[in-house]
Chains A and B, each alone.
Chain A
Amino acid sequence: MSFDPERAEIRFGCGLSPRIAPPVSVDDMMARLTGPDRIAAALPIPDYDAYRPRMSEVHAIKKVQKNGRTEDERQAAYKTYIKLRRKTRADAAGWMGQMMLRRALTEDGLRERLVSFWADHFTARGNGRIWPQGQLPYIEQAIRPHVSGRFGDMLRAAALHPLMVKYLDQSKSIGPNSAVARKQGKRAGLNENLAREMLELHTLGVEGPYEQADVQALARILTGVTFKLKHGFVYAKKQAEPGPHVLLGHRFGAKKPKLKHIHDALDMLATHPATAGHIAHKMAVHFVSDTPDPGMVADMTVAFSATNGDLAAVTRVMLEHPAAWADGPRNVKRPIDFIGSAMRALDVVPRQVPTKKPKDMRALILAPLTLMGQPLEAPPGPDGWPESDADWITPQRLAARLQWAMAAPYRLTKVLPRPEDFARAALGGTLPEPVRFAAASAETRAEGIGLVLASPAFQRV
């Protein structure tokens, strides 16, 4: 098999749209991907720098709530906090709506899919206060600009981002011989969490050529990485462990620790052959098949290494490989891809998505995603969402998909298309006869549309 416009849109994009033409070639896909990010400009989501002031504000209010002089002052601060948190949750629900709308309306579906893939690769979850709502701003800042850039740049942006640093306890990691540890005689120690996940998940992979000593070395190298709510990323030299440290046989750092040493170590990891193989395999599994073609993975690995991790080059090699277009066992869409592609097939427009009504957003999109097994703000762990199809299609998770398919389209669009037309628009040339029949035979439009969305033909890529 080779390039096919509909398959390009279904497998590597956000699904077929009745209005937006699919790409005509791999070159066309790549040109869209590496061109300007039009849909983000049209449907903005604030990046983390824009979100940060709100975090500082909450911090200040919490201080008053704890240390205010009078009970009244403390109570008032608590009420202000609750109000601000409610507003933030409402705003974040709106950003989720923007994110789904990008999928519905983009001419560059591959970019949305890559953002989602890399955000999952660099899963960072916020806990407490308004940290969870910082997730989309984190993705907007640390992931999105890099999906067709250098992997090393994304690694730096994501792994050292405040959301990740907090999530994986990096700011608590203090070099035992650092200035802080020596001067204050504080109980200081290393925290290996970020170092371990960086090796195991972000770069080399769990099968990679590292040992516990490398985890400890990287933990030492990473000391000093922290953040301040007001400034974002901060390098705190005083917490840093003096070097040098030996990581995978290379020496990093010096007696006087510098941020550059950390960057050097990250660059080495980002271009390591094991990283190339790990990333190539993971992309192939995510986009093409749970058991990907070894030849395709090998070609992608070579491309990664030859270009020092140029992700546009790796993506292009994947798309140019015949196995990428094979009919084979097709992956199941994740819930976010399922809802996103359904909205696209329904040609949902911005005014139909209640981005300003958090209650409706929760009912229509966020709660269903949770029931389908993908509560967006609460990924299960730093390893992100499961890849295996069987994890997603359990009875209760599938029930949630079916329920959404039957009920949500009407709530979103108010005017439903003829189910037969919808089936053709949503599935194109891949429309199987039983689905066509079901669409034509349903008692109501809502059920007809629901059956099309419920079909494995629609739920797989």
Chain B
Amino acid sequence: MPIKPLSRRHFLTRSAALGCSLAASPLITPVTFASARGEGRLVVIVLRGGLDGLDLLPPMGDGNLAALRPDLDPATDLTGFFGLHPAMDPLRPLWAKGQLAFAHAVSTPYRDKRSHFDGQDLLEAGTGMETLGQTDTGWLNRLLAQMPGSEAQTAYAIGRSDMLLMRGPADVANWSPDAALTLSPQAELLLERVMHDDPLFRDATSEAIMLSQSAIGLGAMQDEPGESDMMSAMIAAKTGARPDAIASFAAQRLREDTRIAAFSLSGFDTHASQSRGLPKALERLTQAITTLRTDLGPIWDKTTVVAVTEFGRTARINGTGGTDHGTAGAMIMAGGALSRAQVVTDWPGLSEADLYQRRDLRPTRDLRAHLAWMLRPMFGTEQSVLERAVFPGLDMGPDPRLIA
């Protein structure tokens, strides 16, 4: 199936063909001035499970590393001090162009309990430890509320689950490419007829049909429509949509009115046999980033992708070749909007005394500060707004100059 660019006109023709009212559909709400929102694009990827920053970016120049990680994967040098996990090699061309950067030894304010759920809640809520579990809006939603002219299509939460990151009063569009529908033309027309008198079902059906026809890169879903394809999509659904399908869908939205997209990747909780599990998870991440790079085309130059995780992992490898829940970790940034290739860090060291509670990489910077310094130039958000509304209680500190 050829990739068809999805245009507003396409939506309108389609809905006219279906003969249904789309008045309530956010897809055809009139565009307000796109320039009011600026041209910058932000993609936030939540890496669920706790990415091991020390395996992603091993500090090969730190003399204490070898004792903690005797069987480390052969990383190749990146900065002279830090190496890069081989699964990230497909991103090296971006590094060469100044379009890949990392922050190391960073964390959210989350400490000590090391629970995935609480850790992810705090990461997505963007608040401090004192309001853990009490915030039901996400920082991206609060950012949107501050953006002039934002509308439902400005931000897209992609994936089947509700993300706290995007939850809140501001309108956000939701879609999961693995929810795609394959219907024969006849069934589509009949479906329209069956739904016609029920506005809730009618509008959701029209949107579902349009979005699934616009979704690209769905593998089996693109072949001849039929029962087996539908079921194979259902089977694939148990592990979630493929990262390239998600990224492709995100890119497609971002080429139009969408400015912010967010989705999750999982598989980073590597308690055992990390050398087998982590490369697979990192491949999904590199695949998502390279797909965004390719599919965004010229928009890539205005784009920042940032991947964050709820916490890092223990500095020492455990008895089962894995690592347990820790504290500080790494964040990954990519995109043409970055200022340069760099590993931003105030390196804490890895000696016993340097480790947080003698077990974890010690956090030396709040990762929210890096996020805030990205949002500041990208969306022109005031520092006071970032420190009070988007990330309440945050002290942004000095500017790491991440964005060009």
Contact = CB atoms under 8 A, between A and B. Distances in A.
A422 interface: no
B295 interface: no
Interface string A389-401: 1100111111110
A371 B200 contact: no
Interface in B197-235: 197-198, 200-201, 204-205, 207-208, 211-212, 227, 230-231, 233-235
A29 interface: no
Interface stretch (B59-67, B174-182, B348-356): B174-182
Classify the secondary structure of A's interface with B.
helix
B179 A403 contact: yes
Contacts of A380: 162
A442 B186 contact: yes
B231 A397 contact: no
B175 A443 contact: no
A432 B196 CA distance: 12
A403 B233 contact: yes
A430 to B, nearest CB: 13
B320 A395 contact: no
B140 to A, nearest CB: 18
Contacts of B197: 432, 434, 456
B194 interface: yes
10 contacts: A127-B117, A370-B160, A371-B160, A380-B162, A399-B212, A403-B181, A432-B197, A447-B186, A456-B198, A460-B198
Interface residues of B, number: 42
A162 B231 CA distance: 37
Contacts of A48: none
A403 B226 CA distance: 11
Contact of B238 (A363, A435, A443): A363
Interface in B179-193: 179-184, 186-187, 190-191, 193
A437 B230 contact: no
A404 B160 contact: no
Contact of B187 (A74, A394, A437, A447): A447
A256 to B, nearest CB: 33
A367 B234 contact: yes
Nearest to B271: A78
The 5 A-B pairs with the shortest beta carbon distances in the complex, nearest first, are A396-B179, A407-B230, A456-B198, A399-B208, A367-B238
Contact of A438 (B179, B194, B237, B320): B194
Nearest to B199: A456
Interface in A226-257: none
B313 to A, nearest CB: 17
A434 B20 CA distance: 15
Nearest to A406: B230
A176 interface: no
A368 interface: yes
Interface in A416-455: 432, 434-435, 437-438, 441-444, 446-447, 450-451, 454-455
Contacts of B196: 434
B319 interface: yes
A399 B179 contact: yes
Contacts of B319: 65-66, 68, 71, 74
Contacts of B344: none
- Candidate in A410, A443, A456, A459 with the most chain B CB atoms within 10 angstroms: A456
B195 interface: yes
B174 A403 contact: no
A87 interface: no
B201 A75 contact: no
Interface string B110-151: 000000010000000000000000000000000000000000
B230 A393 contact: no
A11 interface: no
Contact of A390 (B160, B200, B212): B200
Contact of B227 (A400, A402, A407, A441): A407
Contacts of B181: 399, 402-403
Nearest to B180: A399
Contacts of A373: 160
A434 B142 CA distance: 44
